[in-house]
Amino acid sequence: MTGPLLRMDGVGRHYRSGGWLSRATVTKAVDGVDLTLAAGETLGIVGESGSGKSTLGRLAAGIEMPSAGTVAFDDAPYAPIDSTAWRRQRRRVQVIFQNPSQAVDPRLPIVTQICGAMAAHRIDPGAGRAGRAETMLERVGLGGLGSRYPHQLSGGQLQRAVIARALALGPEFIVCDEAVSALDVSVQAQILNLLQDLQAEFGLAFLFISHDLGVVRHVSHRIAVMQRGRLVEDGPAHAVFDRPQHPYTQQLIAALPAASPAARRARETARPAAA
């Protein structure tokens, strides 16, 4: 691979509603987005609710097709959904959603679900699957808990189990869509540290979607800011936070509590003057 792991060129996702007896309307959830993500990099996506962050994540993961533009993973456009080629790509791209309880089957033990995911992708046939599943559970801090059912795990443990299931497929790219927002603050920190450790160990790339700017700043190498379906700013995390250029980004940063009066004064000094 010579280019970025993920490339989005002029990507749009439009939803049509109404028609026939009422006037049809088109909602541009994502509108003309250009974006790249390198292997081993974390790109944070921030913006208010309804800005198009989650839709962008689904497009990036190949679980939704764009209405306009192209999405390429490892220099190849995503294949049609449910095709054999698409399934091969999807093994390399995983998604971790906000609510882990909705991402698992309540009727099956965790280890069985991880083995089922591997079976679907024909990974490690036979007894090798159970061994790999236990290894991944150990890696995320759930060693010895694979026989438990989802209701027997806490929210943080369940999110770890979902991460273990994703890791078992050997992905290169993971979309985290509000992956820690439903967890207590102390548990959030543990999961964020786990994700960063896994990134260092496996060379993972993350698209990290969150409304929490503090969390995004903690984990991201770069940050992209979305407003009404469009990217309004994209740059290194420190530059976006210390020298925001777009007025919308400035509003988001200004709403964050400063660590000290000196930090607030520095933020005000660094802010570009209004035109």
Residue 170: alpha-carbon gap to chain centroid = 16
Query: Average pLDDT for residues 217-238, to the nearest whole number?
Result: 95
Alpha-carbon gap, residue 33 to 76, rounded angstroms: 18
Judged against a pLDDT cut of 80, whether residue 27 lies above it is answered with: yes
Whole-number Å distance between alpha carbons of 211 and 12: 21
Name the pLDDT band for 260 (thresholds 50, 70, 90): very low
Task: Kindly state the average pLDDT of the residues 234-238.
Answer: 95
Q: How many CB atoms lie within 10 A of CB 28?
A: 17
pLDDT in tens, 88-103: 998 999 999 988 999 9
Rounded alpha-carbon distances, angstroms, from residue 105 to 138, 149, 200, 213: 20, 9, 30, 32
**pLDDT at site 270:** 53
In what helix (H) or strand (E) does residue 234 lie, and over which residues does it extend? Answer: strand 230-236
d(CA 124, CA 118): 7
Q: What is the pLDDT of residue 264?
A: 55
Name beta bridge partners: 36: 7
Please write the tens of the pLDDT for every residue from 36-53. 999 999 999 999 988 999
pLDDT at 266: 58
> What pLDDT shows up at residue 89?
92
pLDDT at 273: 46
DSSP reduced 3-state for 45: strand
**What residue segments make up the domains of the chain, in order of their start?**
38-64+79-237, 243-275
pLDDT tens digit sequence for 126-169: 778 999 999 999 999 999 999 999 999 999 999 999 999 999 99
Q: What percent of the chain has pLDDT over 90?
A: 73
Mean pLDDT estimate for the chain:
90
The pLDDT value recorded for residue 244 is 94
Strand partners, 95: 175
What's residue 275's pLDDT? 37
CA 199/CA 219 separation, integer angstroms? 11
Q: Give the homologous superfamily in CATH for domain 38-64+79-237.
A: P-loop containing nucleotide triphosphate hydrolases (3.40.50.300)
